[in-house]
């Protein structure tokens, strides 16, 4: 009998999040599961790591079943580093992160703690996937995600992923019958038009809340935004070589060494 | 007479950092300077933004001169958003971040608060450059950086930058006469081999410090690591479209929709 794959599960919404619990449930049908997740929500943490502070890890058991679970005081990237270098006895076959409560499509990948965990695993040479459901609510319904998560993880375990690439999977907030399938996509050009809500605190000091509206500037039918708007699960291959290779020749024509 | 360019200056080491003070000094020889920087060090914050907490901003004046300065309770990315949407009367012509105390070459770009500020400006469509000196000490000597910073900023103001691209500049920790010039480079393939230093706190509870050793896995002579090791200032064009376009065809051959 083939050995069961070892699956590292993490997220950025914290170890008690319903999205993580769904991911654990699906992963237990595929392999041996170890969970190392933040002890509190870490959304929009980007690729933060903890270098000037201590990290605490606690063995916990939140759901029934034979998965191992650890709660960690650090960021999602810290959780992956600690899991791989300290907590797991052997190298995981895959790292899955999520299921995030809220979209990480297009430019949101840059701010995403969910994806930073997947990227961290990718940097360690471990195949990795970040999953997000386009519903920010804590009470979001993850039922329709299950079969897509399973299909994608089984494909990654079968085919592997190229070096330096992880997957960013976003799932539309639809009933299972209304989801049309999976589309491999590129990251749409989009951004946030921020507005700052200026208020006064009870002591009379000004402060701000960051608010904003998401603006898709990209009409391509090959983007993740198009896929999600049209009822598809989007799968974007994401790389951490950020070099804009196409610009190097242009920059070499500048007067940098006169 | 041509109008002076408006230059937004920020960093991740905090508003009092000597590297930021050097950057302000050089930028004042080029244009009108507004500083919006974190009120405390934010290193390794990645691309974190503040969405569940309040942001405070305070007008301050740390050095002499006519630059405007604001101290902000948020992350480097928050500083740029606040500057552009709330504090500056007009759109800056360029955003410069740094000079960071310590290298942001190769994979470090992913964890870097300095570069997240530059990327945030790039996402807003503003030409942007992150500068780092390869010396982590607070007492680092930024003298040799000055002429290179000035040359690069003047070139960006003259030529502009392609949409979706910002520059990651790293400066070797050498005397001015020992720096050989500027080399446009690509991000080297490198990573950190982490080790966790496990200790017990005074209450007997285990905790960890993240430590590690940087490993360059890339022998290319066109990389930023090569440039720095050979006495050059490295300039890497960095993009925030993370799509691994070369993988899309391969993923389309998987059994995702059976």
Q: What average pLDDT does the segment A2-11 reach?
A: 93
**Nearest residue of chain B to residue A150 (CA atoms):** B256
Residue B2 has pLDDT above 90, yes or no: no
Using a CB-CB cut-off of 8 Å, the residues of chain A touching B198 are 86
Q: How many angstroms away from the CA of B140 is the closest CA of chain A?
A: 19
Report helix, strand and coil shares of chain A as percent, to nearest 5: 25, 30, 40
| Structural domains of chain B sorted by starting position, each given as residue range(s) with its CATH number in brackets | 6-188+220-252 (3.40.1210.10)
Using a CB-CB cut-off of 8 Å, the residues of chain B touching A186 are 241, 243, 245, 248
Whether the bond between A99 and the residue before it is cis, its omega within 30 degrees of 0, is: yes
Q: How many angstroms away from the CA of B121 is the closest CA of chain A?
A: 11
Higher pLDDT, B142 or B53: B142
Any CB–CB contact under 8 A between A206 and chain B?
Answer: yes
For residue A118, what are the CA distances in angstroms to A11, A124, A225, A245? Answer: 9, 10, 20, 23
Where does the pLDDT of residue B47 fall: very low under 50, low under 70, confident under 90, or very high at 90 and above?
confident
According to the model, what pLDDT value does residue B48 have?
74
Any CB–CB contact under 8 A between B208 and chain A?
Answer: yes
B10 contacts B37 by C-beta, under 8 angstroms: yes
Where does the pLDDT of residue B1 fall: very low under 50, low under 70, confident under 90, or very high at 90 and above?
low
**Nearest residue of chain A to residue B168 (CA atoms):** A243
Q: What average pLDDT does the segment A4-30 reach?
A: 97
CB neighbour list of residue A94: distance below 8 Å, 6 or more residues apart:
A5, A7, A8, A126, A127, A128, A129, A153, A156, A157
According to the model, what pLDDT value does residue B40 have?
87
User: How many CB atoms neighbour CB A253 within 10 A?
Assistant: 9
Per-residue pLDDT tens over the stretch A183-192: 999 999 998 8
Matching residue, tokens 């049908």: A29
Percent of chain A with pLDDT over 90: 80
Any CB–CB contact under 8 A between B55 and chain A?
Answer: yes
Mean pLDDT score of chain B, rounded to an integer?
93
Q: Which of B47, B148, B198, B201 has the highest number of chain A CBs within 10 A, making it the mutation to test binding with A? A: B47
Measured CA to CA, the distance from residue A235 to residue B60 in angstroms comes to 46
Where does the pLDDT of residue A1 fall: very low under 50, low under 70, confident under 90, or very high at 90 and above?
low
Using a CB-CB cut-off of 8 Å, the residues of chain B touching A245 are 186
Q: How many angstroms away from the CA of A176 is the closest CA of chain B?
A: 14
Q: What average pLDDT does the segment A17-38 reach?
A: 97
Pick the closest to residue B50 from A181, A44, A24 (CA basis): A44
CB neighbour list of residue A104: distance below 8 Å, 6 or more residues apart:
A112, A114, A115, A130, A132, A168, A170
Mean pLDDT score of chain A, rounded to an integer?
93
Q: What average pLDDT does the segment A244-253 reach?
A: 95
Residue A31 has pLDDT above 80, yes or no: yes
Query: φ, ψ for residue A246 (rounded to 5)?
Result: -70, -10
According to the model, what pLDDT value does residue A107 have?
94
Residue ranges of A 215-254 with Cβ closer than 8 A to chain B: 235-245, 247-248, 250-252, 254
According to the model, what pLDDT value does residue A51 have?
73
A142 contacts A176 by C-beta, under 8 angstroms: no
User: Taking CB atoms and an 8 Å limit, are B248 and A184 in contact across chains?
Assistant: yes
DSSP string, B31-46: SEEEEEEESS--TT-T
Where does the pLDDT of residue A44 fall: very low under 50, low under 70, confident under 90, or very high at 90 and above?
low
Kindly tell me the burial class for residue B258, based on how many C-beta atoms sit within 10 Å of its own C-beta (0-12, 13-18, 19 or more): exposed
User: Taking CB atoms and an 8 Å limit, are B210 and A49 in contact across chains?
Assistant: yes
Among the partner residues A109, A110, A251, nearest to B184 by beta-carbon distance: A251
Any CB–CB contact under 8 A between A43 and chain B?
Answer: yes
Per-residue pLDDT tens over the stretch B185-198: 999 999 888 888 99
Residue A89 has pLDDT above 60, yes or no: yes
Among the partner residues B82, B119, B243, nearest to A238 by beta-carbon distance: B243
Residues shown for chain B = 258
Q: ipTM of the assembly? A: 0.90
Q: What average pLDDT does the segment A173-190 reach?
A: 96
According to the model, what pLDDT value does residue B126 have?
97
Radius of gyration of chain A (CA): 19
Any CB–CB contact under 8 A between A204 and chain B?
Answer: no
Known binder of ligand: residue A12?
A: yes
Among the partner residues B81, B187, B248, nearest to A243 by beta-carbon distance: B187
């Amino acid at each position: 009998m083939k050995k069961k794959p070892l699956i590292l599960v993490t997220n950025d919404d914290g170890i008690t999040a319903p999205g993580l619990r769904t991911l654990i449930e699906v992963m237990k049908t595929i392999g041996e599961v170890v969970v190392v997740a933040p002890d509190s929500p870490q959304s929009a943490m980007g690729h933060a790591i903890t270098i000037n502070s201590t990290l605490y890890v606690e063995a916990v058991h939140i759901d029934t079943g034979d998965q191992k679970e650890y709660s960690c005081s650090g960021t999602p990237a810290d959780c992956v580093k600690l899991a791989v270098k300290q907590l797991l006895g052997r190298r995981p076959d895959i790292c899955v992160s999520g299921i995030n409560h809220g979209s990480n499509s297009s430019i949101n990948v840059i701010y995403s703690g969910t994806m930073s965990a997947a990227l961290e695993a990718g940097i360690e040479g471990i195949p990795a996937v970040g999953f997000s459901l386009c519903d920010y609510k804590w009470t979001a319904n993850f039922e329709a995600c299950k079969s897509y998560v399973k299909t994608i993880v089984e494909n990654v375990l079968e085919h592997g992923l190229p070096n330096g690439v992880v997957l960013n999977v976003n799932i539309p907030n639809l009933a299972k019958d209304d989801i049309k399938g999976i589309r491999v996509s590129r990251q749409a050009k989009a951004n946030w038009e921020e507005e700052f809500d200026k208020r006064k605190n009870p002591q009379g000091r000004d402060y701000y809340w960051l608010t904003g509206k998401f603006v898709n500037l990209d009409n391509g039918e090959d983007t993740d935004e198009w896929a999600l708007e049209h009822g598809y699960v989007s799968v974007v291959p994401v790389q951490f070589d950020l070099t804009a290779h196409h610009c190097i020749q242009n920059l070499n024509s500048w007067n940098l060494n006169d």
